[in-house]
Structure formats: structure tokens, C-alpha cells
């Protein structure tokens, strides 16, 4: 069963348990990534091995579960360098959009910092 089918069957409260983000956040991330992907590939090109949904699931799983890129690559039958590039693309795209942001280093060093999305 593919990720699209599996995720469509999830209840709202299961998103936080599985991906570490709530359903509205997940959907907002996915919309930003799909729009960026369309802009990037509007002239065509080679068909991708991974869908945008798969790339988002991989990225959130990488952060949530601390799996190695080699292990994730094995599950999706692609190289760990492709996993690395996919995760980097998601990070860069979401940060460039401005909807999501990360605290600065000094803020992270402060023990009272709360990271919220």
C-alpha cells in the first residue's frame, strides 16, 4: 500500500503520533512543497522516483525516528545521497517560504526556548 492511501486513512490525532506534527501543519507543508515542486519541474524532466508526499514523509520520519539515511534509502530502494538531497530540499523549501522558521542558535542555547509550529 502506498503512502497516499495509508495517510488518507489516518485520523486527525494520529498525525502527531506518527509524523510529530498536527494534520493542519502536515497539510500546509505538503501544499508548500507541491507548489515548489511544480515550479521547479514545470518544463518537464525525468519522472521522479519519489512523490512529494513520500519526500515529506521521509523528512519527518528522519527527524522523528533518528533513522539513518541508508536505512530509509533501503526502504524506498534509492541511495542515501538521494535521501539526503530530498531532506535538504524540504528544509530549504519550507524555510524559504517563510511560513515555517527555526530559532536562531542563541535562542536554542537558552533552556527556556519553546519551539512551536
pLDDT in tens, 61-105: 998 888 899 999 999 999 999 999 999 999 999 988 888 776 666
pTM tops 0.95, yes or no: no
Q: Does residue 117 belong to any structural domain of this protein?
A: no
Q: Does residue 93 belong to any structural domain of this protein?
A: yes
Q: Does residue 115 belong to any structural domain of this protein?
A: no
- Whether the pLDDT of residue 3 is over 60: the answer is yes
Q: Does residue 89 belong to any structural domain of this protein?
A: yes
Cβ atoms 87, 59 nearer than 8 A: yes
Q: Does residue 46 belong to any structural domain of this protein?
A: yes
- Whether the pLDDT of residue 4 is over 90: the answer is no
**For residues 26, 27, 32 and 34, what is the CA-based torsion angle, rounded to 10 degrees?**
110
Q: Output the average pLDDT for the chain.
A: 86
Task: Show the domain range for 53.
Answer: 3-109
Q: Does residue 28 belong to any structural domain of this protein?
A: yes
Q: Does residue 116 belong to any structural domain of this protein?
A: no
Q: Does residue 114 belong to any structural domain of this protein?
A: no
% pLDDT > 90, the chain: 47
Task: State the total domains in the chain.
Answer: 1
Amino acid at each position: 500500500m502506498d503512502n497516499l492511501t495509508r495517510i488518507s486513512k489516518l485520523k486527525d490525532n494520529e498525525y502527531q503520533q506518527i509524523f510529530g506534527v498536527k494534520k493542519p501543519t502536515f497539510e500546509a507543508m505538503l501544499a508548500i512543497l507541491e507548489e515548489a515542486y511544480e515550479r521547479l519541474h514545470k518544463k518537464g524532466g525525468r519522472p521522479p522516483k519519489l512523490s512529494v508526499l513520500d519526500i515529506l514523509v521521509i523528512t519527518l520520519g528522519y527527524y522523528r525516528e533518528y533513522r539513518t539515511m541508508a536505512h530509509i534509502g533501503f526502504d524506498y530502494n534509492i541511495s542515501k545521497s538521494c535521501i539526503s538531497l530530498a531532506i535538504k530540499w524540504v528544509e530549504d523549501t519550507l524555510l524559504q517560504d517563510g511560513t515555517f522558521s527555526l530559532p536562531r542558535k542563541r535562542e536554542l542555547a537558552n533552556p527556556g526556548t519553546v519551539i512551536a509550529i
